[in-house]
Chains A and B, each alone.
Chain A
């Protein structure tokens, strides 16, 4: 059974810092990995999807990397802003239909 772990569980940084969120998974036979953003009381917004054949994806200030062999992904946020404050979820898809989610990293960016 796929287990997805996100470290740290919570993170507080001052505005302008670059930061890295970590995601690890136990079964490397994945189809893809998705990073989501969840604001309090809201749904999930898809940020980036990395296919199993890819090493990274970029969108604006966000860069996600994937190392299947070591079972790791990182989400890099450049020049953080208070509006980036949210919970970030990592989800891995294996051969079935379900996404296997981590518990998330709660990010607070202070002005």
Chain B
């Protein structure tokens, strides 16, 4: 069981470039999330989705966009990369939002913007 898969694992971008971080899960989870982790800080929610076609902003959405066309995939797009977006990005999923449902995380994408 692959769980949550993120690609790429590493990427270096130049300022102003764009890219899409891919996330797919094979657990048939309705809920998916994107977090970022800055050095020495806790993870912060960027965007989340409660099902195909439905997305909403989290705590730090500026500079990002998401889409959810299928249950399995939840890509995160950076349109104009800025140095402040250098971070580690984690995708997560959960089956529903009951209090006994853990969030399952991918291995992360390490992004540097120079």
Binding site for B on A (CB under 8 A): 4, 31-32, 34, 36, 41-46, 49, 51-53, 89, 91, 93, 97-104
B48 and A98 contacting across the interface, CB-CB below 8 Å: yes
A97 and B33 contacting across the interface, CB-CB below 8 Å: yes
Contacts of A93 in B (CB 8 A): 99
A interface: dominant SS: strand
Any A CB within 8 A of the CB of B21: no
Binding site for A on B (CB under 8 A): 4, 31, 33, 35, 40-45, 48, 50, 58-59, 90, 92, 97, 99-108, 110
Contacts of A46 in B (CB 8 A): 102-105
Contacts of A100 in B (CB 8 A): 42
Of B90, B105, B108, most buried by chain A (CB within 10 Å of CB) is B105
Q: Closest approach, in angstroms, between the C-beta of A57 and any C-beta of chain B?
A: 10
Give the top 5 A-B pairs by smallest Cβ distance, nearest first.
A101-B42, A98-B45, A43-B107, A44-B105, A31-B99
Candidates A31, A89, A99; contact of B45 at CB < 8 Å:
A99
B42 and A103 contacting across the interface, CB-CB below 8 Å: yes
Q: How far, in whole Å, are A36 and B45 apart by their CA atoms in the complex?
A: 16
Q: How far, in whole Å, are A86 and B4 apart by their CA atoms in the complex?
A: 21
Cross-chain pairs A/B with CB under 8 angstroms, 7 sampled: A42-B108, A43-B107, A97-B31, A97-B48, A97-B58, A98-B33, A99-B43
Chain B residue, CB-CB nearest to A93 = B99
Chain A residue, CB-CB nearest to B91 = A43
B50 and A97 contacting across the interface, CB-CB below 8 Å: yes
Candidates B42, B48, B108; contact of A43 at CB < 8 Å:
B108
Candidates B41, B50, B59, B102; contact of A98 at CB < 8 Å:
B59
A99 and B103 contacting across the interface, CB-CB below 8 Å: yes
A51 and B107 contacting across the interface, CB-CB below 8 Å: no
In the complex where A97-B33, A103-B42 touch, is A43 in contact with B103 (Cβ < 8 A)?
no
Q: Closest approach, in angstroms, between the C-beta of B55 and any C-beta of chain A?
A: 11
Contacts of A44 in B (CB 8 A): 90, 92, 105
Contacts of A89 in B (CB 8 A): 42-43
